[in-house]
Structure 1
Amino acid sequence: MNIFLMILQLIIGIMLVAVVLMQPGKTNGLSGFISGGVAESFYSRNKSRTSEAMLSRLTVFLAIVFAVICIIQNLMK
């Protein structure tokens, strides 16, 4: 059981790193500073349906599963 959890944790860890690296940066850089922020657009109104939102939800899910597996492995020792 412990070997299975270690392998599962390794796979989830690799997936978590990949998902985090696939996400775009959140900063606007100097252009966002000068213009005063993000203008209202179709993209900003429908942000919950984009691939960014899906990647964000997947990151949270994988992080929770990773943490739960860590706790389970600690309790098994």
Structure 2
Amino acid sequence: MDILKTIVQIVYIAICIVLTVIVLKQEGKSSGLSGALTGASETFWSKNKGRSVEGILEKLTKILAAVFVILSVVLNLDW
């Protein structure tokens, strides 16, 4: 059982590092806010953001955050 807990802890640390890097690579929301103020919010870029690198990073962030929370709960259980 100790080996399984060690493996889960290693995966948890790896997810923490990857999640930190992905969040730091994302653009700030302020860049989109200035376009919304000038009326340029309906652009090709905003409509197809889900297929871009930024959209992929957002989806990956959500998935890794969910796995992070689940592993946090699992690691706090009494084994």
Structure 1 segments unaligned to the other structure (5+ residues): none
Shift of 1:38: 3.1
Cα distance change, pair 12–31 in 1 and its aligned pair in 2 (3 A)? closer
Shift of 1:31: 4.6
> 50, 54, 67: which one pairs with 2:69?
67
Q: Does 1:24 align with 2:23?
A: no
Measure the CA separation in 1 of the matches of 2:13 and 2:40.
38
Aligned ranges for residues 24-43 of structure 1 at < 5 Å? 24-28=27-31, 31-32=34-35, 35=38, 37-43=39-45
TM-score, normalised to structure 2's length? 0.80
TM-score, normalised to structure 1's length? 0.82
Task: Give the equivalent residue in structure 2 for 1:54.
Answer: 56
Aligned AA (1:72) = V
Structure 2 segments unaligned to the other structure (5+ residues): none
Aligned-residue sequence identity (percent) comes to: 39
Regions of 4+ moved over 4 Å:
29-34
Shift of 1:44: 1.5
Question: Over aligned residues, Cα RMSD in angstroms?
Answer: 2.1
Shift of 1:42: 1.4
Measure the CA separation in 1 of the matches of 2:55 and 2:46.
11
Q: Does 1:5 align with 2:27?
A: no
Measure the CA separation in 1 of the matches of 2:75 and 2:14.
15
